[in-house]
Amino acid sequence: MQNIKDAIDAIRNDRMILLYDAADREGETDFMIPARSISPQDIAEMRIYGGGLLCAVIPDAAAERLGLPFAADILRRLPDLAHLAEGDLHYDTRSSFSLWVNHRDTFTGIPDRDRALTIRKLDEIVESTLNGDAVDFSSEFRSPGHVAVLRGAKDLLKERKGQTELSIALAELAGINPVLCICEMLDSETGYALTKEDAKKYAIKNDLVFVEGEEIISGYEKG
C-alpha cells in the first residue's frame, strides 16, 4: 500500500511517475504526469527517454460535454473508411483515441513548448466543463494537431483497465483534475517496449515512483 500512497502523493504534487499496466495487456510502462503542470522540459524528457506517443488523457464526462468522440466512431460514419475502425487489437476490445489537437496559440504545434501549452490548456478546459461552465472547444483548439487525446471509459476500471483509465483513477485518488499526459517507454536497441525491469531501473536512477496497474486497481476499489 505504501507504493500507491507514494504515487498519489507524487502526482498530487505535480511530479512525474512511471505507470506499468499489466503483463496481459500492453505490458508497457508509461511516463505519467498531471497535465496542469507540464513543462517543455517534461515533454523533452518523455520524447527522449520514453520515445512513445505523447497523449493527453481526459475523462469520459468531459469528452462528452466537449463533443470529443472516439476516433473509431468518426470512422464508422464514413462508408469508405468504416472498415478501418473494426480493429483486431490483441490486448483490448477497442482504442481510447479521440481527436488530435493543437491549441490555437501554437504555431506548428509540435515543439516542446507548443505541446506543453496544448496539454495545459486541455487541463483548463476540462476543469471548466466539469465545473459546469459553458465552453467552446473549437474556439481554443484546432484539429488535426500534434497531441493525441485519449478518452477514458465511461465506467472507468469496471469497463477497461488501460493506461488511460488507470491514469484517471490515480488522479481521482489524488483529488486532482483527471487530465494527464502519458508516453510509452520504448527500447531503441530491441525495437520493442522497454522491459518492466529496465523501466524500474530508470525509476530508481531518476527517483521516480514506479507503480503497477494492479496497485491502482486495488487502491481504487478500496476507495
Catalytic residue among 45, 146, 172, 198: 146
Is 192 catalytic? The answer is no
DSSP 152: P
Rounded to the nearest angstrom, the gap between the alpha carbon of residue 170 and the centroid of all alpha carbons in its chain is 12
Q: How confident is the model at residue 13 (pLDDT cuts 50, 70, 90)?
A: very high
Pairing type for strands 141-151 and 55-58 reads parallel
Q: What is the layout of strands, in order, in the sheet containing 29-34?
A: 97-103, 141-151, 55-58, 180-184, 29-34, 17-20, 209-212
Catalytic residue among 30, 42, 112, 212: 30
Domain residue limits, the chain: 2-222
Is 13 catalytic? The answer is no
Catalytic residue among 21, 42, 55, 181: 55
Is 91 catalytic? The answer is yes
Asked if 186 and 194 touch (Cβ cutoff 8 Å), the reply is: yes
* Mean predicted confidence (pLDDT) in 43-65: 98
Q: How confident is the model at residue 46 (pLDDT cuts 50, 70, 90)?
A: very high
pLDDT at residue 1 above 80? no
3-state secondary structure (DSSP) of residue 177: coil
Is 20 catalytic? The answer is no
For 123-156, the pLDDT digits (tens) are: 999 999 999 999 999 999 999 999 999 999 999 9
pLDDT at residue 37 above 90? yes
How far is CA 19 from each of CA 55, 104, 135, rounded to the nearest angstrom? Answer: 14, 30, 32
Asked if 104 and 142 touch (Cβ cutoff 8 Å), the reply is: yes
Catalytic residue among 26, 28, 42, 184: 184
Instruction: Give the integer Cα–Cα distance in Å for 97 and 153.
Output: 11
Instruction: Give the integer Cα–Cα distance in Å for 122 and 14.
Output: 16
Task: Tell which residue, 20, 40, 22, 39, has the closest CA to residue 30.
Answer: 20
Note if the pTM is more than 0.75.
yes
Is 183 catalytic? The answer is no
For 91, phi then psi, to 5°, come to -120, 0
CATH architecture of 2-222: Alpha-Beta Complex (3.90)
Catalytic residue among 9, 91, 133, 221: 91
For 55-112, the pLDDT digits (tens) are: 999 999 999 999 999 999 999 999 999 999 887 778 887 899 999 999 999 999 999 9
For 50, phi then psi, to 5°, come to -100, -65
Asked if 42 and 33 touch (Cβ cutoff 8 Å), the reply is: yes
Q: How confident is the model at residue 176 (pLDDT cuts 50, 70, 90)?
A: very high
Residue 79 region by backbone torsions, left for phi larger than 0, else alpha for psi between -120 and 50, else beta: alpha
Is 202 catalytic? The answer is no
For 113-122, the pLDDT digits (tens) are: 999 999 999 9
Instruction: Give the integer Cα–Cα distance in Å for 122 and 157.
Output: 22
